[in-house]
Amino acid sequence: MFEKNHSTLDTERLTRQGFPEVVYCEGKSAGQIIDNLRALADAHGRALGTRLPTDRAEEVLQALPEARYDALGRTIVLGDNGPTVNSSSSVALVSAGTSDLPVAMEASASLSFLGHTVTAYTDIGVAGIHRTLDRMDDIRKASVVIVVAGMEGALPTVVGGLVSAPVIAVPTSVGYGASFHGLAAMLGMLNSCASGLVVVNIDNGFGAAMAAHRILTHQHQSLS
């Protein structure tokens, strides 16, 4: 454990669960973020932070110049990504529209940090269903599919009906007034007629990545 006056980090999580603790940066000061990233990197050789606001990123990067920050996904990585979990497995990261990219990029960075191969298929939502269908042969090759969509949230149902791999749906807060900041998309996904669809919380790209990591890690261990 790492204890400071602001945080008690779970440095044993990697051993216990197979993945390290990740710093949720929103609501934390730059100093707290820096301390936590350093402590986790010291413990594991690497650290990931999510939801790092751009107005705090500059101060964090001044203290940790070797870190890599993605402003779109608001993720920061200190150290190298983890070792490849299984070279024969991959994640297809499908996003409906360009406005869904921040959530998709959070998922992508989290998966890469955990050692997974990610292929992104962007802006292929149901408003132009031919775009989705044109990429299905490639998407079907993935071991897990994450589908990120706002508005009415229909894309995961379409994909879920066309692939055999586990599908994790991520509703986003993208949409006009009646989308209720992602609630409409989430309810649509929860009520999907595509059997076995798994749904995470609104804008939770990180949560989708962690679900995919658990699936892939368990599959790899079962085959070993």
Over residues 4-49, the pLDDT tens digits come to: 678 888 888 888 888 899 999 999 999 999 999 999 999 999 999 9
HEC assignment per residue over 30-83? HHHHHHHHHHHHHHHCEEEEECCCHHHHHHHHHHCCCCEEECCCCEEEEECCCC
CATH no. of 91-223: 3.40.50.1970
For residue 3, the model assigns a pLDDT of 53
**CATH 3.40.50.1970 segments of the chain:** 91-223
For residue 88, the model assigns a pLDDT of 76
For residue 116, the model assigns a pLDDT of 93
**Residue 203: half-sphere exposure toward Cβ, Cα within 13 Å:** 13
Over residues 39-82, the pLDDT tens digits come to: 999 999 999 999 999 999 999 999 999 999 999 999 999 998 87
The long-range contacts involving 12-18, CB below 8 angstroms and separated by at least 24 positions, are 14/44, 18/213, 18/214, 18/217
Say which amino acid occupies 152. Answer: E
Task: Tell whether the model's pLDDT for residue 151 goes beyond 70.
Answer: yes
Its sign, for the CA torsion 193, 199, 205, 208, is negative
Query: pTM for the complete prediction?
Result: 0.91
Backbone angles phi, psi at 81, to 5 degrees: -65, 160
